[in-house]
Every structure is written in structure tokens, then in C-alpha cells.
Amino acid sequence: MTNSITNIAGYQFKTVADVSTVHMQVQALCARTHLKGTVFVSPEGINLSLAGSATDVDYALDQLGTVCGFDRLLLSATHSDTIPFKRLLVKTRRQLVPDPEPDGPARDQGPVHSSYITSDELRRWLSAGREITLLDLRNSFEYELGTFDHATHLGLRHFRELKSATPRLARLAKEKPLVTFCTGGIRCEKGAPYVASLGFKEVYQLKGGVLDYLKKFKDEYWHGDCFVFDERVSLDCMLRPTFTRLCRICQTVLEVDEMQLCTSCSQPEAAGQT
């Protein structure tokens, strides 16, 4: 049977007072299934990418809600023929996503907020030709694989570099609505408020991220593929795995005749062997 594996990616920001206990609870409930993937528990909440049968996924989500208190997970679901993970890994982290600022968001100007925008509403805006800025908060290699038409990217190699991109953000129109997006939405939870703190009038974050949009609208206003953090590597606009090969150093897409390294990354290594 094709597409028999359910893949879920999701998160919930929620204060976790006893990370160690929740970590053990999550390990125990996952051990009662055949799920594989990764789960990160932190004082900020939980971030997960799990794959397995629909029955195991439903059980895990129920237990995460009733036992661990994560009953408001923001989830994206895709399907595949096989499990795209080799093992199950449940770990603790200090943060789910690095803060754009090492000391946390500035508060001297009062609370800074952003709002969610659904995929349906974003498509309506795009169809109507509304003047907006689409800001891709993903890494450079993700942007190069695919993004929304006319999206702006900040040249980030990693999300934690967002603060260093402040001068580029300052050049964007502050009066136009600005919509941030990433794969599943978690990076925008911190990225959108930081952008809003720089004086933008309206800042939104795409609820459910790119995965939710592609599930509903395929390639409408989107071009290329969407990188995912598992063995499928990336998904096309129909959410089918592409198994794209990436350079293990710079993460650029490899050409047919390139092996583990792209031409640029293999040159220093080759030079060292001569």
C-alpha cells in the first residue's frame, strides 16, 4: 500500500517547569509505538518530527496531550511509502529555536506582537495582487530549493543569524504588510516578533508554514521544492519526496556527476591530496 506512513511535524510553545520528567514521559510513550524521528523537549515547549503508522501517530498525539499537556500542537502532516528516519531520538534542548537576539527580544518599546495568517488568506491576498512583502526566514539552501514567487530572503545560513540581517530588514518597506514563513512555522514564532520589533506596521506568520500551503494550493505562487529535515530531503509541490542530493558541507544541490561534495567544496580537498 502506498503512502502508508504518516509523517507529522509540529511544535507547541509552553512553559515546561520539569523538563527531565517530561522528557522521560515522552520517551516512555514513544517506546510503546514503532515511531521513528526526533523529539526535542525544552523549557520553552516541544518540537517534534515523527513518522509511522496512523495508529501509532494518533496514540502519540493523544498521549502528548493527556499525559504531557501538549494539547495545542501546531501540526503539519504528510505521507510517504517508507519511514524517512533511521531511529527514534528524544532529547532535551535549552531552546526550541535560537533567539534572534542572545539576550532575548528587546522590551524597551513595549510588547511586540505578530499575527497568524492562514494559507487560505495568504492565497487570497496573492490572488488579489495585494502589495505585501513575503519574507523567507529559512536557510539559504532551503530558499534556493524553492520558495514563494517574489519572496525576499536575507541570505541566512542559519536562523540564529537573523539579528545580523537587521540592516537588510531595515531596507524593506515598513508600511506594507509583511508575511514571514518557514517550513512548518516554528522559526517564525521567534522571527516574526523580532521583525515586528524593528518598526514594521503589520507582521504576520504563515500558520502551518510552507507545508500547509503546499498541501492546499500546490504550486500556486510557489516554485521549486520544500526542504524537510528527514531522509526525503525535500518535497515537491504535491508533497512527494524528491530525495534531492545535497553537498554535505554547503548544502547546495549536487549535480548528477557530483558525489558527496559539490565542485566548489571538493576543490580544497583535492588540492590537499596533490
Least confident interval from 65-79, 94-108, 206-220, 254-268: 94-108
Phi, psi of 30 (to 5 degrees): -70, -35
Q: Which residues pair with 5 in a beta bridge?
A: 80
For 19-151, where are the E strands, in sequence order?
36-42, 45-52, 74-80, 88-92, 115-117, 133-136, 146-148
Cell of 115: 499575527
Cell of 273: 591530496
Annotated catalytic sites, by residue? 182
pLDDT of residue 94: 97
Q: What is the mean pLDDT of residues 199-207?
A: 96
Cell of 15: 512553559
Cell of 43: 523549557
- With pLDDT > 70 as the criterion, what percentage of the chain qualifies? 92
pLDDT of 271 higher than 80: no
Read off the amino acid at residue 119. S
pLDDT of residue 183: 98
pLDDT of 197 higher than 60: yes
- Round to the nearest angstrom and report the end-to-end CA distance of the chain: 51
Query: In the sheet that 88-92 helps form, which strands lie side by side, from edge to edge?
Result: 74-80, 5-13, 45-52, 36-42, 88-92
pLDDT of residue 108: 38
Q: Are 44 and 17 in contact (CB under 8 A)?
A: no
Tens-place pLDDT, residues 88-143: 999 999 999 999 865 544 433 444 568 999 999 999 999 999 999 999 999 999 99
Q: Work out the burial of residue 87: count CB atoms within 10 Å of its CB; fewer than 13 is exposed, 13-18 middle, 19 or more buried.
A: exposed
176 to 132, 199, 266: CA distances (angstroms):
6, 11, 43
Phi, psi of 176 (to 5 degrees): -85, 145
Q: What is the mean pLDDT of residues 241-246?
A: 88
228 CB neighbour count, 10 Å cutoff: 24
pLDDT of residue 191: 96
pLDDT of 11 higher than 60: yes
pLDDT of residue 104: 46
* Local structure of residue 62 (DSSP, 8 states): H
pLDDT of residue 109: 41
Q: How confident is the model at residue 264 (pLDDT cuts 50, 70, 90)?
A: confident
pLDDT of residue 258: 78
Q: What is the mean pLDDT of residues 199-213?
A: 97
Distance (Å, rounded) from C-alpha 43 to C-alpha 98?
A: 13
Q: How confident is the model at residue 63 (pLDDT cuts 50, 70, 90)?
A: very high
Residues 6+ apart with CB under 8 A from 132: 125, 176, 177, 178, 179
pLDDT of residue 106: 43
Q: What is the mean pLDDT of residues 11-28?
A: 98
Q: How confident is the model at residue 269 (pLDDT cuts 50, 70, 90)?
A: low
pLDDT of residue 259: 76
pLDDT of 257 higher than 80: no
